Structure 1
Amino acid sequence: MSTLKNLNSTHLSAEQIETVNTSLGSLETALIDTVSNLSSEERRKYGSVSEQNKLFVNKVNDYAVNQPTLKSPDVDWDEFTNDFNSRTVLEGVIARLEKLLTGVQNAKILHDHDNYQAALDDYAYTNYKTGTSDPNYEAKQKELKQFFSRTRKVNKEDTNEQE
């Protein structure tokens, strides 16, 4: 079976890399006062607003906007509105970043695959050339050989089934 090679031959130019890094720096600077570092415990504690509860918040916001006479005097409505607007903007930013992240991860996967296939080709060539009188290929083969195990790794679940 033939392996597909060079799945991604689109590469970033030095100018594009500089633009990406500058843009990421600008984004980090723009969000420096907004981003929060939460511990895993805090994420569990505060991150439990389910989709149902978000719909509830949206409905309360609709009432606050469309029927302001029904608003509770116990709520700081300016802060509520600021939180609501920030949340909405950040949801949009997250969606855009996730889409971009998925695309970048996919591109990296293809480059990783291309590198690995080329490295396998180089290793095969090294094995072929090992029989020649050039000792450099033998040293290279010895160094690269460590990445290939001769014994089959046994899956723990497989051994449990055999018992």
Structure 2
Amino acid sequence: MSTLKNLNSTHLSAEQIETINTNLGSLETTLSMIVSNLTGDERRKYGSISEQNKLLVNKVNDYAINQPALKSPDVDWDEFTKDFNSRTVLEGLIARLENLLTGINNAKTLHDYDNYQAALDDYAYANYKTGTSSPGFEAKQKELKQFFIRTKKADENQTSE
């Protein structure tokens, strides 16, 4: 059984990495005024409104726009509208960023896999070269061997077969 290799051979150039870092820095700077660091207690206290409650907010917003005579005088409607619009924009940004994050994580996973398979190939080569008494490979093989520690049960199963 052969192992698939080089599942992701697309790499970012130094210029692309610099552009990404510059743009991320700009995004972080732009968003810094609205980014909030909530404690665990604050997150539990304020939480995320449920889908049902989002429907309530949306319906209240619809009434505020379409039948303004029915609006409560106790609500700061300018602030409500600003919160509603910010919330809508942020939801869109979150969705876009989550899509990017998923794609980036997938690309990283493929690079991790490629690196691991290459490392296994290199370890197998070091084992082979150690068997041929080639200079330097025994020390390398011993160093790498620590990452392949077997449990007693696995060793017993292999000797009983």
TM-score normalised by L of structure 1: 0.91
Aligned to 2:104: 104
Q: 1:153: Cα distance to partner?
A: 7.5
Quote the residue 2:36 is aligned against: 36
How far apart, in 1, do the equivalents of 2:38 and 2:100 lie? 24
Q: Which residue type is aligned with residue 88 of structure 1?
A: T
Aligned to 1:7: 7
Mapped partners of 1:135, 1:153: distance in 2: 34
Alignment of 1:4-153 (within 5 A): 4-151=4-151
What residue number does 1:161 align with? Answer: none
Q: Which runs of 5+ in 2 are unaligned?
A: 155-161
Cα distance, 1:97–1:5 mapped onto 2, change above 3 Å: same
Instruction: State the distance in 2 between where 1:153 and 1:30 align.
Output: 56
1:91 is paired with a residue whose SS is helix
Q: CA RMSD in A?
A: 1.4
CA distance, structure 1, for counterparts of residue 39 and residue 138 of structure 2? 50
The CA deviation at 1:132 is 3.0
- Fraction of identical pairs, as percent: 82
Normalising by structure 2, report the TM-score: 0.92
The structure 1 segments of at least 4 consecutive aligned residues displaced by more than 2 Å after TM superposition are: 131-135
- How many residues align structurally? 154
Amino acid at match of 2:69: T
| Gaps in structure 1 of 5+ consecutive residues | 155-163
The alpha-carbon deviation at position 40 of structure 1 amounts to 1.6
Q: Which moved more, 1:37-46 or 1:110-119?
A: 37-46
